[in-house]
Structure 1
Amino acid sequence: MQSFLGVALVLALLSLVASQARNSSQSMELYIIQNQRQFDAKIKQLADELANVKNLFQKQLTAIDVQADSMQLKLEQAIVHLDPIILIDSWSKQCVQNYSSSIPTITVARDSIIKCKESISGIFNAPDNNYNTLNNYYKNNVKNGLAQCLKLHHTAQINYTLCVIKVIDDANKYTISTQNTFHTNLRSSECTADIRIRTSWQCSFGQVYSITTKVEQALQLIYSCISNKIICGSFERQDCPYKSYVTLAEINPLNDTILNPFKGVTNDMKCLEFQIKR
């Protein structure tokens, strides 16, 4: 009877030890899973921060494309307005040809604005590297460290537990250090990007002002030219009835004198037209 009780007691103790071992093993497994989730969440957080900052600055540069589109529309409107003027008469056509050459083409105007966009590529290399370094640490160092713990201490639960805790603790310390460096480099990159964005905008505003000024000045000169048609072109449209003829022989530079071309001019004459005859 005593022998039976002894055996039963031993079995109970062994069962209790086995149960505790299983519980301990399950607890460590949950502990590892929970920390891996935290590592994944941290990586996603840094990735989102980096992407948001990049997208913000990229959108600010994209606004320069809108400026180029607006300038293209302005030039197209100027062309549509000037094309019919050419068809009015030769005077108007000549006015347009004289001054429209100062208006840049759509291609040249767009290129001059788009070229103002400074690239932000390379600015975020430092935080990119911090992110990649931490991500690789989780994928390699932590993974290999946990595998090594299991390999070396698969039969010693306490040693295995201590090994896993150290791997996780080292990962947490590395996370804090790398995250601090990441945010420092991210702020520095933002400052550099801000400067390039400001430079891009100053350049694009300058180009828009320059092109707009050229268009407005050209249109003003064209309109003035057409308006002066009444003044400058009026005598060209009138045929002067009073004509004085001079022969080539009479205006021979070897002769000292020529016949007076004003002979017969009276006060009633409003004009006098000279014509050279052979």
Structure 2
Amino acid sequence: MSSFLGVAISLALLSLVVGQATNVSQSMDLYILQNQRQYDAKIKQLEDQLANFRILFNKRIEALTVQADSMQLKLEQASAHLDPITLIDSWSKQCVQNYSGTIPTVSAARTSITNCAENINGVLNSPESTYNTLNSYYKNNLKNGLAQCVKLHPTAQLNYTLCVTKVIGDANKYTVTSQNNFNNYLKSSECTAENRVRSSWQCSFGQVYSITSRVEVALQLIDTCIANRLVCGSITCSVDKPSCPNVANVTLAEINPQNDTIRNPFTFVTNSMNCVEFRLNR
């Protein structure tokens, strides 16, 4: 009877030990799983930060495309204004041909603006390297460390538990360090990206100003050229020569081939005048 009781007690104790070992093993599995989820979430967080960084940079650079669209519209309006003028008469057509050459084509204008856009190449090298290194740590160091715990302590539950907690603890420390480095590198990348965006905008603004000025000057010269026809009164006047505001009128009656002299037509000339125009009147 006592022998049977001893066997029963031994079986009970063994069952209890096995049950406890099973519970510990399940708890460690849950512990590892929970930490693994946190590591996966950390990797996803860093991925999202890098992706958002690229999206924001590209959106800010896209402003140059908007400027190119606006400039294209301005050039198309100028072309729509000038094309009908060339059909009026030869004088107007010549005026347009003389000065419209300084107006760039739509393609050239768009290229000069969009070429100002700097890219993001190299800006994220450091944070991306930190991300890749951390991701590799989880996939290799952490995985191999946990596998080593199983290999070294297949039956010693306490030693296995201590081994696992050390591997997880090292991974957590590495995660904190990597996160801090990632944040610092990302701030530095933001400064670099900001400089590139600013440089792109300054370049594009310069192109827009230059092209706009060339268009406005050309249109003004064309209008002045066409208006000069009314001043000259004849299409024989040079369309390249602007009218002079300082005009001296000389009548044919004053020009007598029999006389060696005529009335001095320069009496009105001053040092401030840049040009003088003489007109013969009947």
TM class by smaller structure = 0.7 to 0.9
Unpaired segments of 5 or more residues in structure 1?
A: 238-259, 264-268, 272-278
The equivalent of 1:163 in structure 2 is 163
Does the CA contact (< 8 Å) of 2:229 and 2:235 recur in 1? no
- Which secondary structure state, in structure 1, belongs to the residue aligned with residue 84 of structure 2? helix
Unpaired segments of 5 or more residues in structure 2?
A: 238-254, 259-279
**1:24 pairs with 2:3:** no
The equivalent of 1:111 in structure 2 is 111
The CA distance in 2 between the partners of 1:58 and 1:52, in whole Å, is 10
1:43-58 matches, cutoff 5 A: 43-58=43-58
Structure 1 residues 218 and 262: alpha-carbon distance in aligned structure 2, compared to 1, 3 A threshold: same
Does the CA contact (< 8 Å) of 2:61 and 2:117 recur in 1? yes
Structure 1 residues 101 and 4: alpha-carbon distance in aligned structure 2, compared to 1, 3 A threshold: same
The CA distance in 1 between the partners of 2:223 and 2:75, in whole Å, is 17
The CA distance in 2 between the partners of 1:43 and 1:214, in whole Å, is 52
The CA distance in 2 between the partners of 1:16 and 1:213, in whole Å, is 91
The equivalent of 1:216 in structure 2 is 216
- Which secondary structure state, in structure 1, belongs to the residue aligned with residue 104 of structure 2? coil
The CA distance in 1 between the partners of 2:235 and 2:164, in whole Å, is 104
The equivalent of 1:13 in structure 2 is 13
**1:185 pairs with 2:185:** yes
The CA distance in 2 between the partners of 1:216 and 1:95, in whole Å, is 15
Please state how far the C-alpha of 1:270 moved relative to its aligned partner: 4.8
**C-alpha deviations, 1:210-249, integer Å up to 9, x for none?**
1011101111111111112111243759xxxxxxxxxxxx
TM-score by length of 2: 0.83
Does the CA contact (< 8 Å) of 2:91 and 2:235 recur in 1? no
The CA distance in 2 between the partners of 1:97 and 1:163, in whole Å, is 86
1:97-108 matches, cutoff 5 A: 97-108=97-108
Please state how far the C-alpha of 1:29 moved relative to its aligned partner: 0.3
* Number of residue pairs the alignment of both structures matches: 244
- Which secondary structure state, in structure 1, belongs to the residue aligned with residue 182 of structure 2? helix
The CA distance in 2 between the partners of 1:235 and 1:99, in whole Å, is 18
The equivalent of 1:141 in structure 2 is 141
The CA distance in 1 between the partners of 2:281 and 2:5, in whole Å, is 149
Q: One-letter code of the match for 1:67?
A: Q
Please state how far the C-alpha of 1:180 moved relative to its aligned partner: 0.6
RMSD: 1.8
- Which secondary structure state, in structure 2, belongs to the residue aligned with residue 117 of structure 1? coil
Structure 1's consecutive aligned runs of 4 or more residues displaced over 6 angstroms after TM superposition are none
**C-alpha deviations, 1:45-69, integer Å up to 9, x for none?**
1111121122111110111111111
The CA distance in 1 between the partners of 2:47 and 2:235, in whole Å, is 77
Please state how far the C-alpha of 1:145 moved relative to its aligned partner: 0.8
Please state how far the C-alpha of 1:209 moved relative to its aligned partner: 0.7
The CA distance in 2 between the partners of 1:236 and 1:147, in whole Å, is 98
Structure 1 residues 24 and 44: alpha-carbon distance in aligned structure 2, compared to 1, 3 A threshold: same
User: Could you say which structure has the larger radius of gyration?
Assistant: 1
